[in-house]
Structure 1
Amino acid sequence: MRAIGDMLSDAAKAAAAKNGQDFSAESFEKMKKQVFADPDVRAFLTAHQDQLTKESVDASFASLYEYCRQKDSHDKVISGYLPQLFMEGPLIGIRYQASQDKQRRDKEAAAKRRIELIDLPEKLRRVKLADLDMADDRKQALFEVGAFLQAYQSNPHAKGLYLSGDFGVGKTYILAGLANRVAEMGGRVIFLHMPTFIAGLSSHFGDNSLQTEIQRLAACDVLILDDIGAETLSPWSRDDVLGVILQARMDNDLPTFFSSNFDMKALESHFSATKNADDPVKAARLMQRVRYLAKEVVVYGNNRRLP
């Protein structure tokens, strides 16, 4: 086989003539620098030298030239994609593959689409567990979150968590970090603010969409109920909405998370005293579902919302 350098020189002359360029020594040297001396091109030709001939390199020069122009160009043929040389039979072809940066951005966008926030701020989509303060007062909660995520990789029915603690200690942010990580792993998450959700139930009456909403919450991969215990419940919203959702999730062992200013014992008292009645039996039944679905972990610390 002829030396690679000789084949490249012949191919450069042919490409210049085809494009109507003045083939001076200066233009030839410029093209050589762009294509023939390019380390990636030379590495490709060396790797495939047993498959190449002078004629096939000549016929493939357009691909080589495009590759050199595009690989480091800011004016990409396809934004976010990088050129890649490959053997296409006896010729050299060019194809475009998403860059690592584009793959990362696409992956992040796909993960965000797998999280549905209901009555919660959009900024929670940007929370990363790795960025959270690992203060001693929240280490146990973060450890339990990490343990869940490790288990969830192989078990989509891993038990959830019930984060209790004072106002502003970071319970919602910890669960936001968990939600984003689950979404990155491919899980679909619904993360809702319980008081606002319960207060807005009447908005579903006009279009009869409540049953559909209950089914969505009952069946999603991971459900997070934020600030449970701060809502004002009626016997109906407790038993026929929240109770139905939690029963379905318990029956199917679906990961469910809660945050609350109440510990589980205090939450049971809250469930007992609805607007119209005091029913400790139904409250105990509902708490049985909560305890089945989630392990209680106390988050300590100062109110981070205060200056």
Structure 2
Amino acid sequence: MESITDAVKKMEGYDQLRRQLDRIKQQVLQDPYVASFMEANPGINEVNLEKGLTKLYEYSKERHQCSNCPGLERCPNLMQGYQPVLTAEKNQIDIFYEKCFLKKQDEKQKSMTALIKSYFIPKDILKASFDRLHSIDQDRKEAIGAAAEFVKKVAAGEESKGIYFYGKFGVGKTYLLGAIANRLAERQIPSLLVHTPEFLREMKNSLSDGSFNEKMELLKTVPVLMLDDIGAENMTNWVRDEIIGVILQYRMMERLPTLYTSNYDFTLLEDHFSYSQKGGLEEAKGKRIMERIRHLTVPIFIGGDKNFRSIQ
């Protein structure tokens, strides 16, 4: 009885198929990436080469697609975001896939984004970077330096006071908070960035949808809290005593750092907190809130006429 191999050889079209396979084989072996692999593995004999030809072909095709990468979202490889790697364990050709640089960068960015929670913060702020900050005067140099030092201490596990950035509208206070949040995320430290006026309005709605306690717990316990534009909210006794006061008291007791931005200096912010919707002033309550802020922050004025993010 003739062998299966001999029978296949007698089939119509076999010679043509064989010639086609030989051409593919030569093309694959002439591929610079494959040639380099074969040169590094001289123990691969002809039998193992034939067995591994389809894997070499797959590698050649995928590797060239990586060389002409159209970007992660349009990656044409079998496994999007993965690049092929050849192995020759015991001179047996095999292929596996590992994450490419773009895939790793994308996952890193998503991981960082997950560490930065926010409420009512513009998307461009959530992409802020120290590299894009532009210091053109002493005030701004001091602000950027203090922000960088804060991140350094927190990342090292050291206790650090928060920072109270204040100055007029449009000088880049919020952008600086975004840069801090991203630098913290690079060091795997979670933070929460909140636009205070909008968030406080949201907290009123949270009483009816049942999410009030959950949101309060988040603001009280997040490792680094950033309250943007504090002082611009519509002040009521409830906002001051049951939300801001409770959050700051807890964070003071637990020594959790809080950062702020405001158009007000400490004196004007205290006046704001002393306002009573019933008429008149409640100076003692205003002072109590400000004691918590003063005790655990370093005030830094940011001057200038223009935003201090670099012109792109």
Amino acid at match of 2:54: A
Corresponding residue SS for 2:260: strand
After TM superposition, list the pairs within 5 Å mapping 1:260-271 onto structure 2. 260-271=262-273
Matched to 2:56, the amino acid is L
Q: Could you tell me which amino acid in structure 2 is paired with residue 106 of structure 1? A: E
Write out per-residue CA displacement over residues 151-189 of structure 1, whole angstroms, 9 at most, x where no aligned residue: 232227533211011111110111112112222322222
Q: Deviations over 1:210-233 (max 9, x none)?
A: 122110111112211001011122
- Conservation of the 8 A alpha-carbon contact between 1:81 and 1:98: yes
The letter of the residue matching 2:157 is N
The equivalences for 1:261-300 within 5 A come to 261-276=263-278, 278-300=281-303
**SS of the residue aligned with 1:302?**
coil
User: Which of 18, 23, 32 in structure 1 is aligned with 2:26?
Assistant: 32
Task: Give the corresponding residue for 1:72.
Answer: 64
Q: Identity rate of aligned residues, in percent?
A: 32
**Distance in 2 separating the partners of 1:43 and 1:151:** 48
CA gap of 1:270–1:81, structure 2 versus 1, over 3 A, is same
In the other structure, the counterpart of 1:16 is none
Unaligned runs of 5+ in 1: 1-18
After TM superposition, list the pairs within 5 Å mapping 1:192-271 onto structure 2.
192-271=194-273
Structure 2 counterpart of 1:10: none
Contact 1:56 1:90 in 2 (8 A): yes
- 2:99 corresponds to which letter in structure 1? A
Alpha-carbon distance change, 215 to 157 in structure 1, aligned in 2, over 3 angstroms = farther
How many residues in Structure 1 have an aligned counterpart in Structure 2? 284
Q: Is the 8 A contact 1:223 1:256 kept in 2?
A: yes
1:284 positional shift: 2.3
Alpha-carbon distance between aligned partners in 1 of 2:15 and 2:257, rounded to the nearest angstrom: 67
Partner Cα separation in structure 2 for residue 46 and residue 293 of structure 1: 64
- By how many angstroms is 1:68 displaced? 0.7
The 5 A counterparts of 1:1-307 are 22-24=17-19, 28=22, 31-33=25-27, 35-49=28-42, 52-73=44-65, 75-88=76-89, 90-136=91-137, 137-155=139-157, 157-276=159-278, 278-304=281-307
Displacement after TM superposition at 1:71 (Å): 0.7
Report the secondary structure of 1:72's partner residue: helix
Q: Distance in 2 between matches of 1:297 and 1:195?
A: 21
TM-score under structure 1 length normalisation: 0.82
Task: For structure 2, list consecutive stretches of 5 or more residues without a partner in the other structure.
Answer: 1-13, 66-74
Q: What is the alpha-carbon root mean square deviation over aligned residues?
A: 2.6
- For the structure 1 residues 126 and 21, does the alpha-carbon distance in structure 2 shift closer, same or farther, using more than 3 Å as the test? farther
Please say if residues 151 and 184 of structure 2, whose CA atoms lie closer than 8 Å, have aligned partners that are also in contact.
Answer: yes
